[in-house]
Structure 1
């Protein structure tokens, strides 16, 4: 099993970042690893929906499962597996447990780096909230791809999660820059420290792992006018702005754009958002 990286300096190019991250071990939440072992012990009683429900609260385990299924179906005439449930149905329960043995955990990987573990935990929690917002928006719009939109929001910031895991010192530098200047945009801080933007790394990794086209498109903020992409983009934005409460200066703009997306008044939209949350 590949070892976790511990990069302390930026790599020379986007290709170098892709190569490093594509081949590195991806740990998961300790509670996910523990739940998988409990389920493994009673494998005959496990079904795809119950297993998917547990995995879908962990963005990095979800990423591993979807990437594995995408690799399995390469070259075969099968439907894309844009969600954890679809990936598990394609694989089957026994082959899943055979492919995924006891999982390394992020808590163990960052045991000596408490600040980075806290930073990573915040991104993970934000992703889980964003996926709930995005699913709520998609359901309100009666979007047939609601489950894929949920997946896309959950995975939207996976490159940032991998950075906290594999280059914690660099992730902390970016966080420090943004703490010192609240007007500094994430992409600018990333370019300053890493020489690349994490959004570009994410899309390149998704291509490398042959993730489904629909999932790649919905995760890509560059298609911002597409309503499905907008569901994810606004969900991620709101989760970021409300991570420490609902009084952030960015929330009124988020609320305006979400109300427009859902064709609601801002008052009604706000009530709905609190229900989603």
Structure 2
């Protein structure tokens, strides 16, 4: 991810230059090259986020860290950019510090935020000629929000002290896939087509076949390169699924995926059973609890 660049144009009416989108047609050879590619990319954000940030920029003196955080927390792309920027500025001895979007913005300050984050490129610009990929990405974003919602509910029920970071880990769980939609939409849609043709195929195997990597490995690699907080990196790593906090994230993500198209997925009873163990509650109570979490507020 390229470093944030200040918006040096004093005229807010001047549109930002929009570079032609980069769409990879062939996979890169390995994890290191994929990570290098995304570390250099200027990651786009959601159009709604970009527009709202520009509106806030016009009234910067009336904006506080809480207002910014409320907006950024709804956009996984902007969340990544803020966390990566603040982590890069953090001293080595602070590497274990827990960071959320709000704490990062408080640390940075509102005025420096607007200086260092100019007009943002958008996902809609990046995928202007890829409507099917944009639609699939929007569905993935909706699923990420539901995963974050489930993870928060589980963590609150468990009395976990790291609710905000658990929510963040669930929200960002699929961000490597989101990046692939933006920069390799043809390849990502190829994975989707294979899954649709044969739902029994494991996603990780398809990813390795199409991208030459496991996207979970890419997520962890980027988090470490961006020097995300130690806690966020650790609880995002599904390879340590025995830890209750990691389990909290895994089960929230799994439940969101399995209920994406309704509550009749054959895998759901197993999900409920495992969530019951996590929450130390009977399956019947757990099912009612997750239904309640999923209701719009």
Q: Secondary structure at the match of 1:32?
A: helix
Counterpart residue number, 2:183: 166
Matches within 5 A, 1:5-24: 5-24=22-41
Query: Aligned pair 1:46/2:63, yes or no?
Result: yes
Q: How many angstroms apart in 2 are the aligned matches of 1:175 and 1:124?
A: 15
Q: How many angstroms apart in 1 are the aligned matches of 2:242 and 2:99?
A: 21
Counterpart residue number, 2:289: 272
Check the 8 A contact 1:81/1:87 in 2, yes or no.
Answer: no
Give the superposition deviation at 1:79: 6.6
Structure 2 segments unaligned to the other structure (5+ residues): 3-18
Query: Aligned pair 1:231/2:220, yes or no?
Result: no
User: How does the TM-score come out when normalised to structure 2?
Assistant: 0.90
Check the 8 A contact 1:190/1:198 in 2, yes or no.
Answer: yes
Q: How many angstroms apart in 1 are the aligned matches of 2:210 and 2:254?
A: 22
Counterpart residue number, 1:140: 157
User: How does the TM-score come out when normalised to structure 1?
Assistant: 0.96
Inter-CA distance 190–78: structure 2 relative to 1 (3 Å threshold): closer
Check the 8 A contact 1:69/1:81 in 2, yes or no.
Answer: no
- Larger Cα Rg: Structure 1 or Structure 2? 2
Q: How many angstroms apart in 2 are the aligned matches of 1:133 and 1:33?
A: 27
Q: How many angstroms apart in 2 are the aligned matches of 1:131 and 1:178?
A: 24
Check the 8 A contact 2:98/2:231 in 1, yes or no.
Answer: no
Check the 8 A contact 2:95/2:229 in 1, yes or no.
Answer: no
Q: How many angstroms apart in 1 are the aligned matches of 2:247 and 2:63?
A: 35
Check the 8 A contact 1:18/1:205 in 2, yes or no.
Answer: yes
Give the superposition deviation at 1:122: 1.4
1:78-130 alpha-carbon deviations (Å, 9 max, x no partner)? 87252111110110111111111111110111010001101211111111110
Counterpart residue number, 1:130: 147
Q: How many angstroms apart in 2 are the aligned matches of 1:88 and 1:76?
A: 20
1:187-216 alpha-carbon deviations (Å, 9 max, x no partner)? 011011111100111111111111111101
Please point out which of 146, 151, 166 is paired with 2:168.
151
Q: Secondary structure at the match of 2:135?
A: helix
Counterpart residue number, 2:7: none
The alignment covers a number of residue pairs equal to 277
Counterpart residue number, 2:258: 241
Inter-CA distance 79–18: structure 2 relative to 1 (3 Å threshold): closer
Give the superposition deviation at 1:5: 2.7
Please point out which of 225, 233, 248 is paired with 1:208.
225
Q: How many angstroms apart in 2 are the aligned matches of 1:214 and 1:79?
A: 7
Structure 1 segments unaligned to the other structure (5+ residues): none
Counterpart residue number, 1:87: 104
Q: Secondary structure at the match of 1:25?
A: coil
Give the superposition deviation at 1:74: 3.2
RMSD: 1.5
Q: Secondary structure at the match of 1:11?
A: coil
Inter-CA distance 199–183: structure 2 relative to 1 (3 Å threshold): same
Check the 8 A contact 1:40/1:97 in 2, yes or no.
Answer: yes
